[in-house]
Structure 1
Amino acid sequence: MFGPFRPSLVAQGGLLWKNPFRMSATRKANVRKRLRDVDQVVAAVEASGVRCKALDEALTLPKESEMQARDKYTVFSRYGLHHRKSLHKVPKFTKKTQRTSPPGF
């Protein structure tokens, strides 16, 4: 048990991914910064005069300053508690453009 062939924590069924329950203040600040960066890119592309479907869809989304805190830090989840899921639990949440919730949520 305490020798050179002792089982590892993963082999014993230990916790493999350590995901905190809440988002830290640093993670929240990084999310806000990322949203502002995206807003700046969309504004720059719009100012350049380029028109495309993706730009039109991005212009309909609310800006970071217009978003509620609930929409900044959580996303809609059909199976989550109260139909919300914390943003840091979503894989690749930086690549998703889900800034609004379905009506009623």
Structure 2
Amino acid sequence: MFGAFRPTNSLGGGLLWKIPWRLSKFQKARQRKRLRAVDVLVATVDKALQRNGGMTTRAVERWKEEMPIEQVMVPKDKYTIFDRKEKGYRKSIRKLPKWTRVSQRLNPPGY
């Protein structure tokens, strides 16, 4: 009973990770809302700079050129991120630390 092969409580040891592999419809809606909020912010900053004597910044111009807006993003890119260590090269965006604060709009083509 107290030897090497004693029965153990499976839930007693370690941390039990309960991260569903799929986002709920409410989480998806909040993610889309965050993406749109960033799009509105970039557009507002760009308009304010243009109104203020036609000024631009390199960061805003680069963001507008490289990053797609939320409406043209594929759902796969909105809710998952590329990870070369994963089986299908994709994992849920919730597995990324601080996924609500980091922009994950660009992913390698074809994955």
TM-score band, normalised by the shorter chain?
A: 0.7 to 0.9
Query: How far is the alpha carbon of 1:10 from its aligned partner?
Result: 8.0
* Structure 2: gaps of 5 or more residues: 1-9, 50-54
Separation in 2, partners of 1:75, 1:66: 16
Stretches of structure 1 that go unaligned for 5 or more consecutive residues are: 1-8
* Segments ≥4 residues shifted beyond 4 Å: none
| Between structures 1 and 2, the one with greater helix share | 1
- What's 1:18 paired with? 18
RMSD: 2.0
- Structure showing greater radius of gyration is 2
In structure 1, what is the equivalent of residue 107 of structure 2? 101
Give the Cα separation in 1 of the matches to 2:63 and 2:11: 43
1:83 corresponds to which of 85, 89, 94:
89
CA 1:48–1:30 in structure 2 vs 1: closer, same or farther (change >3 Å)?
same
Residue 53 (1) aligns with residue 54 (2): no
User: Kindly, what percent of the aligned residue pairs are identical?
Assistant: 43
